[in-house]
Each structure stands twice: as C-alpha cells, then as structure tokens.
Chain A
C-alpha cells in the first residue's frame, strides 16, 4: 500500500489553492449547505412533539460529522433576529441509528431566547450550524457494574441515548433509572421508555411525579426507591438542586467516585439590575483584577498590565476585539448586555457587567 498522500488529497490541495482566500467548500455550499466542510451544518428533517413544551428535532448532519457516543452533547447555532445564538443540547438518539441521523430534544424555557425558537418555530428543511459531539458523560459499558441513572426533566435526553443504544444492541446491563417529572404527560420519551422497561427485564424504570410526591432526594428516599443504590455506579443529569442532593448522598457514603454528573449548559453569571462591575479575568495572561461597570475593559486591561492590541479606542476599528469566554459585559454605547460565550467584543467600548473572563 502507498502511504503517501492520495491523489484525492492532492487534488483537494490544488482545489484549495485555486479557491484562495476561500476554500472549495465555500463554493460547494452554494449548491448544498450539507456538503460544506468549512462549517458543519445540519438539516432538520423532522420534528416531533414529545410533551406540551418539548420537541424532538431529527437532524441530518452534513459532511465531516463525527459519530457521537451515547451521552454526549452538541453545540447548535442558528440565527435569531439576524444574530447567531448557540446552545448545547444532549443528543437523545442512539449512535447506532442506521440512517446517520441524530436527534436533539429541546424543552422551551420560559423567557428563553433560543429554546422556544427550536421547540416551536423551526420547521423541517431548516439548516442549523452544528459543533462536533462533545462531553464525557459516557455511560456504563458492557459487563460493568450495575448502574443507576438519576434524571429530571430534559436531563433524560443523554440517558435516553444510552438506554436506546443498550436496547438496540441487545445488551441491556442491570440498570435502575430514576426519573423525576412534574406530572405523567410531562415525561419526555415516557411511552418509549416504559415500553423498553417492559421488554427488558434488566431495565427498571421508576418515575416520580413531583407534583404528587414533592419529597426531596435523600439517602432514605433512595433506599425506598432503589434499595441497592449503594452498589450501583451512578450517572445523574438534572437541574442543580437535584444534583446537589444526589451529590450529598454519595459524599456521605464516601462514594463520590461512583457518581458521574452532567450539568445542563454552562454556568451563567446573573446579570445585575444596576450597572455594577465584577472580577475580570484575562485568560491568556492569567491576570485577574476588579472593574466597575463603566470603565472600558481596554482600560481595565491596561491598568492591570495586560497587553491589549487596540486602535481607535472609540469603537470603530475593531482592532481591540477580544473573545468573551464567560460572564457578561455591557456595550457602553447601547447599554446592551452581551453574555454569549465565544462572542467577539469591542473591549474599548464594553465594560464589565458582573464577572468576566476574556481570552486576552
């Protein structure tokens, strides 16, 4: 076998030279967005309502998609009002699907900007931008110890991917699945999971309706619901309150290493009502300082001895743009607050609005 570059990769090299400063993929995208490789896209091929406020989108990822492992999540971006918004969703389908499609299940968050659009407005045919699958919440593998899954609300989505995969492979391990939902109709994938539980004796599904039974998670309660929970390796995906309760149970038992936790989304710094500043961290230089809510971050950086390339210092030349890693800034010109990680911000006209991490 010839280990040198194939004729195809040589052709691709030439093609990229004749397309400079773009890539051939930019021209392919004129014909089909899914053929593009410079930015991974996915087409929505079907939508299906799971509950009153959760909808599953079936996506056909374009070229370059790397198949996921059950339990992983993916970044999904779309333009809303002309602005790109990005959120992370667990992939709820099994990687064993033959058609190469994936599913995400989105619950419309009241007052949210992105989830209501995905859960109610996006129609089949729409094209979304996709990241590659990420995340380490990879569940039990064959022959492993008995497992316990604890989920609540839409936290069921990565776990569903695992359960579906075990079922499809005919290799269901000993799993107890404890799921919390307000009421029966609000259980995402309820019918399907109940059917799987009926068909697979090793898969035990326990659903708690918190509207009828508001008792919080505790060691006693776990003893009642899953008596052998102390011997099970556990995966939990739920809102913060439930995760903290579970973590406390495992800590008391000295079994922290047997608990794997998946939080929803990134930590969000609350936006203060008044223009107060916060702690500013410059990631690349490893410097941290404090800033008020009205000093431009460029000046904050300079005062802290951080080298920040800049030009006009008045918000027109974009030389000082820096990537916001987390936190929230206020555009001093408009009063708008920007809290989207990954956004490039003009630090000469933006001030801290709470804690800020910048890639500077």
Chain B
C-alpha cells in the first residue's frame, strides 16, 4: 500500500473503485434526456412562481394591517414562500446550474456560463472559489478554504489560536449572514491578512461583489419596500426574513457536508501524486450525506447527497438519489466508510465540533485508521 489515506485498501482496489464510479457516471450521463430537461424547467417554474407569489402575498397583507393576526398570517405565508423560493433558487437550481450540471442541454438560458443567482456572491467568483478550489482540493488543509472558511477551526489538524475562542459566536453570525460570507469567500482574506495578497490584487473582485450586492440590496431592502409607500418597514422586514431563512438553511446544509464527525481531512503530503481513483476516495472520505425524504433532498439542492455530488459534481442533482445506493454499495464492497446520518446527527456533531475546537485541544498530525 503506497497511498497515505486513512483507510485500509490497496492501490489496485482504489483504481478499480475509480473505474466503477466512472462507469456509473458514464451510464447516468448517457441516459440524460427529455425527462431531465422537464425536471429542471419545472423546478425553475415552481421557484419563480413561489417568488412572485410570495411578493404578491407580502403586499396583499398590507391592507389587512388593522387585523393584526390576519396580517401576520398572510405576510408570514408570503415571507415563507419567498424564503423557500430563494432556497430553491440558490440550491437546487443556482448551485447546480453554475456547476454545469445542465450544460449538456446546450440551452443558453440554463447554462453555467451565463447563469446569475439570487445571492450577493457573483456567480463568476463562486465558480472559482467553489467549483475550482473547493471541488478540486476538497478537505485538503491549507488548500481548501472551505475547511473552516478561514475563520473557524473545524478539525484538530488546524492549530489552535486564541481567536478561535469566539468561534461559536462567529458561526452564529455566519449562519445568519451566510450569503455575505460566501460573497467574501473568493477574496481570500486570509491571504490578504498574511500579506500574500494586496488590496490591489482583489480590487476587481471587490468591485464585482459591490456591483452584485448593490443590486441585491437595492431590490430587497430599497425598491420593494419603497413600492409599499408607508408600509416600507413590514416589506423590508419580510424580505430580510426571507433572506435570513435562506441563509440559515443553506448554512446548516452546507456545514453538514464536510464537518460532521467521521469526515476526514487531508494534508498536501497525503495527496501527492493523486490518481483518479484516489481523488474519488478522498471525495468519499471527506464528504457526508444527510438522510431524509424527497422534499428534504430537493430543499437541500440534493447536497444531502454530498458524497455523490463530490464524486460527480456536474451530474444533474436530481439523479443523485438514484446513484446513492450504488455508490454506497460500492463503498461497502471496498470497505470504504460512507458517512451518512440524520440531519440532527450531522448538524449536532458539526456544532459540537465548533464548540469543542474553540478550546485549545491537542493538534493531531495523523489520524488513527478506523478500526
């Protein structure tokens, strides 16, 4: 065994594992067709209808204001619809379209090169920070900035420093403002702090964020509220609530992707000379699924199938549920751990880690092999 991955499997088996995953990917790609296209068109239609319906309900609630319970009921419904539409737009639609999952259709309207999402992070920058950096360097300490997002200590392999003491607070703030955290992500503020980048290096990106965020803020916090005239405040609060709802949900789902107990992290030395098979293996070892029903999977943008997403990032997400049992069986055959659990288990262990690692625990350099 020449690889240095925390699992007892020999090189030949790793490559066989990779070939079988390649075969699954080829098979699913070959079967893409009209039904898949109808799925994404329908999803986009549902999402846009919810967005429009939500905004209409928020406005419809305003004349009801004297009847407070009725007003609250209607504006709550509208806010919920708008929040759900933002969740679908960012997760099942935006994230996946920007990954190129729907590029096979050749539809200029639904294509990674042209898609812009309802998020303060410009799609162009997200493609770099997420598709390139995170998906290529998944869970490699020092390379994958998604490990702790440069502000959190989520593995003992990150050396402790006093600033981490407050990380339960940072996490709570990040959860509520998650889209802003995502927007800052490609700036690589860590490198700026360490002096590896200068302000001039990130000026263009900063300007890009400014333009995009400006439009988003204008829409949700200025124009829609202004259209309500004297009822400016309820509309502003409803829009803010919808954005926070999406932020909290996407934070929870995304933090369950790589931080629950049992997820592995890697050093650059461990992945030297990585073959395709070993790349696949790292994706499985570093990712975690969340179990749930069909609605839960759609609402999570199918990131509840984080393992399958990391193996096949440009496979249309609604196909992950059918692929998952095959990937899981393959992992079982090769003795590779497949990390899945309930939402409560995955989120619970993630939050526990954030609290626990705020304190100076011992920095481990190597992990024991699983028994």
Inter-chain CA distance A26–B45, complex, in Å, is 10
10 closest A-B pairs by beta carbon, nearest first, are A311-B132, A318-B100, A82-B37, A317-B131, A21-B116, A84-B106, A82-B33, A20-B215, A81-B33, A318-B112
Chain A residues contacting B205 (CB-CB under 8 Å) are: none
Chain A residues contacting B49 (CB-CB under 8 Å) are: 30
Question: Residue A334 at the B interface, CB < 8 A?
Answer: yes
Chain A residues contacting B313 (CB-CB under 8 Å) are: 316-317
Inter-chain CA distance A319–B32, complex, in Å, is 22
B117 engages A21 (CB within 8 Å): yes
Given the known inter-chain contacts A30-B49, A81-B34, please indicate yes or no for A311 contacting B26, CB distance below 8 A. no
Chain A residues contacting B113 (CB-CB under 8 Å) are: 318, 321, 344
Question: Residue B48 at the A interface, CB < 8 A?
Answer: yes
Q: Which residues between 62 and 111 of chain B lie within 8 Å of chain A, taking CB atoms?
A: 99-100, 103-109, 111
Q: How far is the CB of A337 from the nearest CB of chain B, in Å? A: 14
Chain A residues contacting B131 (CB-CB under 8 Å) are: 311-312, 316-319
Given the known inter-chain contacts A17-B223, A39-B109, please indicate yes or no for A82 contacting B132, CB distance below 8 A. no
Question: Residue A215 at the B interface, CB < 8 A?
Answer: no
Q: How far is the CB of B118 from the nearest CB of chain A, in Å? A: 6
Question: Residue A153 at the B interface, CB < 8 A?
Answer: no
Question: Residue B136 at the A interface, CB < 8 A?
Answer: yes
Inter-chain CA distance A85–B128, complex, in Å, is 30
The dominant DSSP class at the A interface is loop
Inter-chain CA distance A30–B127, complex, in Å, is 28
A317 engages B135 (CB within 8 Å): yes
B223 engages A321 (CB within 8 Å): no
Residues 42-74 of B, flagged 1 when their CB comes within 8 A of A and 0 if not, give: 000100110010000000000000000000000
A334 engages B48 (CB within 8 Å): no
Question: Residue B326 at the A interface, CB < 8 A?
Answer: no
Q: Which residue of A is nearest B130, CB measured?
A: A317
Chain B residues contacting A38 (CB-CB under 8 Å) are: 109
Q: Which residues between 89 and 147 of chain A lie within 8 Å of chain B, taking CB atoms?
A: none
Question: Residue B219 at the A interface, CB < 8 A?
Answer: yes
Chain B residues contacting A319 (CB-CB under 8 Å) are: 127-128, 131-132
Q: How far is the CB of B5 from the nearest CB of chain A, in Å? A: 19
Q: How far is the CB of B370 from the nearest CB of chain A, in Å? A: 27
Q: Which residue of A is nearest B29, CB measured?
A: A334
Q: How far is the CB of A23 from the nearest CB of chain B, in Å? A: 11
Q: Which residue of B is nearest A344, CB measured?
A: B113
Question: Residue B216 at the A interface, CB < 8 A?
Answer: yes
B105 engages A82 (CB within 8 Å): yes
Q: Which residue of B is nearest A38, CB measured?
A: B109
Q: Which residues between 27 and 42 of chain A lie within 8 Å of chain B, taking CB atoms?
A: 27, 30, 38-39
Residues 158-173 of A, flagged 1 when their CB comes within 8 A of B and 0 if not, give: 0000000000000000
B314 engages A18 (CB within 8 Å): no
A79 engages B215 (CB within 8 Å): no
- Partner pick for A315 among B106, B132, B314, CB 8 A cutoff: B314
- Partner pick for A18 among B105, B111, B135, B219, CB 8 A cutoff: B219
Inter-chain CA distance A85–B106, complex, in Å, is 8
Question: Residue B227 at the A interface, CB < 8 A?
Answer: yes
A318 engages B103 (CB within 8 Å): yes
Q: How far is the CB of B121 from the nearest CB of chain A, in Å? A: 11
Q: Which residue of A is nearest B52, CB measured?
A: A27
Question: Residue A245 at the B interface, CB < 8 A?
Answer: no
B314 engages A318 (CB within 8 Å): yes
A18 engages B224 (CB within 8 Å): yes
Chain A residues contacting B224 (CB-CB under 8 Å) are: 18
- Partner pick for A79 among B105, B108, B117, CB 8 A cutoff: B105
B100 engages A321 (CB within 8 Å): yes
Question: Residue A333 at the B interface, CB < 8 A?
Answer: yes
Q: Which residue of B is nearest A338, CB measured?
A: B106
A30 engages B227 (CB within 8 Å): no
Question: Residue B36 at the A interface, CB < 8 A?
Answer: yes
B219 engages A318 (CB within 8 Å): no
Chain A residues contacting B132 (CB-CB under 8 Å) are: 311-312, 317, 319
Question: Residue A10 at the B interface, CB < 8 A?
Answer: no
Q: How far is the CB of B178 from the nearest CB of chain A, in Å? A: 18
Chain B residues contacting A66 (CB-CB under 8 Å) are: none
Q: How far is the CB of A335 from the nearest CB of chain B, in Å? A: 10
B100 engages A311 (CB within 8 Å): no
Q: Which residues between 114 and 134 of chain B lie within 8 Å of chain A, taking CB atoms?
A: 116-118, 127-128, 131-132
B215 engages A27 (CB within 8 Å): no
Question: Residue B344 at the A interface, CB < 8 A?
Answer: no
A79 engages B127 (CB within 8 Å): no
Given the known inter-chain contacts A21-B215, A318-B127, A334-B26, please indicate yes or no for A312 contacting B223, CB distance below 8 A. no
Q: How far is the CB of A44 from the nearest CB of chain B, in Å? A: 18
Chain A residues contacting B32 (CB-CB under 8 Å) are: 82
Q: Which residues between 305 and 360 of chain A lie within 8 Å of chain B, taking CB atoms?
A: 311-312, 314-319, 321, 333-334, 340, 342-344, 346
Chain A residues contacting B108 (CB-CB under 8 Å) are: 39, 84, 342
Chain B residues contacting A334 (CB-CB under 8 Å) are: 26, 29-30
Chain A residues contacting B33 (CB-CB under 8 Å) are: 81-82
